Structure formats: C-alpha cells, structure tokens
C-alpha cells in the first residue's frame, strides 16, 4: 500500500507540473479527438512518471509556454495513467512507435513533427528546447 501511495503522489506531482505550466490535460479519448481535430495548431506533451519526464520533458514543456512563437493549444496526455486518451493521441502520431515522454506538433489534426523519448532521455533540457523552438518556428509561425 505504501508504494501505491508513493506512486499516487508522483503522478499527482507530474500532473500538477503540467497544470502549473498552463497545459490542458486531456483524460479521455473523446477529449483528445475533439481537441486534435480542431483547425489550427496543437502542441501535445505525452507525460510520464520517468526521470527524464520530470527532469527534462516537463521543464522543456513549461519553457515553451514562454516562447515567442505559440501554437493555438497546449495539451497533455498521461501515458500509463489516462490510457485511452494516450492511445487516441498516439493514433495521430503516424509512423512513430509509442514513446513517453514525447512531444508532437500538429496542424489541422495532421502530425508535423515529433520528438521521441530517445531525443529527450540523456539530453540536456536546452537541447530539447532548441529542437522544439526550431519546430515551433517551422510549423507554428503565423
């Protein structure tokens, strides 16, 4: 029971990080479909409880809320927690295997760029931010 209480705390802290950064949490397949099918641009963070999510992905995601080029929507799904929402989001990431944490950039529901776990884990947050900034500039600039 102690482990489960610990994991609940870890999950809650990971969710709170994304809330505080200003991301909308999509917790059902219906919410994902409704959001990702909207016209415009969407930045999706696939959150997780691993160390690279907490030390690299979530801080990078928080930084991107302050970047000069902005998508229309900042959203997140939580791998291993909101399973149907995550599965639905991944159905939009054609050509990429499941990866968490990860980032996806969509325009009008179509995947434009993806940053997978292997591009996050073992990298410095600034490297991830630089990659995201280049993708934001390429795909989200109005």
Q: Which residues are catalytic?
A: 50, 52
Contacts of 80 (CB under 8 A, 6+ apart): 48, 49, 86, 100
Give the strand order in the sheet containing 24-25: 24-25, 73-78, 41-47, 102-107, 110-115
To the nearest 10 degrees (0 to 180), the angle between helices 29-36 and 83-90 is: 30
Q: Are 49 and 106 in contact (CB under 8 A)?
A: no
d(CA 123, CA 7) in angstroms, rounded, equals: 25
């Amino acid at each position: 029971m102690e482990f489960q209480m610990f994991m609940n705390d870890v999950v809650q802290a990971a969710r709170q990080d994304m809330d505080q950064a200003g991301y909308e949490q999509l917790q059902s397949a219906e919410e994902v479909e409704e959001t990702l099918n909207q016209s415009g641009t969407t930045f999706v963070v696939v959150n997780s409880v691993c160390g690279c999510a907490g030390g690299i992905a979530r801080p990078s995601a928080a930084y991107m809320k302050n970047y000069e080029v902005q998508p229309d929507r900042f959203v997140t799904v939580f791998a291993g927690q909101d399973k149907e929402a995550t599965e639905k989001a991944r159905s939009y990431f054609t050509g990429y295997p499941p990866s968490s944490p990860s980032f996806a950039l969509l325009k009008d529901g179509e995947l434009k760029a993806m940053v997978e776990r292997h591009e996050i884990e073992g990298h410095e947050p600034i490297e991830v931010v630089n990659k995201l900034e280049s993708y934001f500039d390429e795909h989200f600039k109005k």
